[in-house]
Chains A and B, each alone.
Chain A
Amino acid sequence: MRRLRSTSGRLPIRIFSDRIATCPTPFTMASTNRGGLIDAICLVALIVVIVTVIYGFWLRAIWAHGYYLAVAVAVLGAFVILIGLAQQAIAARDVATWRDMAEWQIRAARAAAGQAGATQADPDDEIEANAAAYYEILIGTLVAHAEQDERSIVDER
């Protein structure tokens, strides 16, 4: 549990910011560029292994016909692995889409909150809880808190 920091924000609440924003370090920035290439190479290697195993079972099956069942089991296992990998890729893409949508929403709320703050004379005034601007400023403050938390965690390292 991280302790609550009384900073300049309006909301004295604790935020679990680990899931909201990931801080790019030099290592992760370099590895995202390389990660796709290494993944592709590993996928090729995995397929080569699977094909080699099926071919080997096939060679054996020519001499011992019972091994045709082993070929069938190996083909089934290969299908399960490849379908699992494809499902993972689809799920990762969906998560990325959701994250994009959430980020877009947050940016829009921030822009709206910025406009609301510009029109008001004093932004620290009490806002009516039912006003639309209230929620926009709430989101903006939450995001600010999360980013501040993230930055202080990085600084502690």
Chain B
Amino acid sequence: MSGDPHLELGESLPRFLSHWLAACFGHFLMVLLPLITDWAHVKNATWPSWWSLLLFAASTSLVAAIINANLPVTPREMIKSVALGFALNATIVMLRLA
């Protein structure tokens, strides 16, 4: 709790990668929750191919990872990355960007 917060929280590649993965899981959760809750209705809906879904999640989660790259890798901070990935996908869905 002392000094410049930018000096206390260090950015590193492992932190970036783990928060990027967590944000990807948040993104997938947003995509897949309708399938789990309305499984009978959604099963015939048009879905993107699996690789385009993965690439889309990876690219949007980069934003979340860049923002959260200076947080430590603890469950508490990972949940924040999951929530950010979920929120980014929800924003894109609501704006009908993709």
Q: Are A53 and B29 in contact (CB under 8 A)?
A: yes
Q: Quick one: which of A45, A63, A66, A78 contacts B43, CB cutoff 8 A?
A: A63
Q: Are B76 and A42 in contact (CB under 8 A)?
A: yes
Q: Are A66 and B78 in contact (CB under 8 A)?
A: no
B interface residues with partner A (beta carbon < 8 Å): 1-3, 14, 17-18, 21-22, 24-26, 28-29, 31-33, 35-36, 39, 43, 47, 49-51, 53-54, 72-76, 78-79, 82
9 pairs of A and B residues whose beta carbons are closest in the complex? A56-B32, A42-B75, A43-B75, A70-B50, A53-B28, A42-B76, A42-B79, A84-B18, A67-B50
With CB as the reference atom, state the residue of chain A lying closest to B8. A18
With CB as the reference atom, state the residue of chain A lying closest to B28. A53
Q: Quick one: which of A39, A57, A59 contacts B28, CB cutoff 8 A?
A: A57
With CB as the reference atom, state the residue of chain A lying closest to B72. A88
With CB as the reference atom, state the residue of chain B lying closest to A83. B18
Q: Bits for A47-84, please: 1 = Cβ < 8 Å to B, else 0.
A: 00110110111011001101101100110011011001
With CB as the reference atom, state the residue of chain B lying closest to A78. B25
Q: Are A52 and B75 in contact (CB under 8 A)?
A: no
By secondary structure, the A interface counts as: helix
Bound-complex Cα distance A66 to B33 (A): 19
Q: Are B49 and A50 in contact (CB under 8 A)?
A: no
A146 to chain B, nearest CB (A): 14
Q: Are A46 and B24 in contact (CB under 8 A)?
A: no
Bound-complex Cα distance A137 to B78 (A): 46
Q: Are A66 and B49 in contact (CB under 8 A)?
A: yes
Known A-B contacts A28-B1, A53-B29; A46 and B79 likewise in contact (beta carbons under 8 Å): yes
Q: Are A49 and B74 in contact (CB under 8 A)?
A: no
Q: Are B82 and A49 in contact (CB under 8 A)?
A: yes
Q: Are B73 and A84 in contact (CB under 8 A)?
A: yes
Q: Quick one: which of B1, B3, B32 contacts A52, CB cutoff 8 A?
A: B32
* Chain A contacts for B29, CB-based, 8 A: 49, 52-53, 56
Q: Does A38 contact B (CB under 8 A)?
A: yes
* Chain B contacts for A40, CB-based, 8 A: 75
Bound-complex Cα distance A67 to B32 (A): 12
* Chain A contacts for B82, CB-based, 8 A: 46, 49
Q: Does A130 contact B (CB under 8 A)?
A: no
Q: Are B36 and A56 in contact (CB under 8 A)?
A: yes
A24 to chain B, nearest CB (A): 11
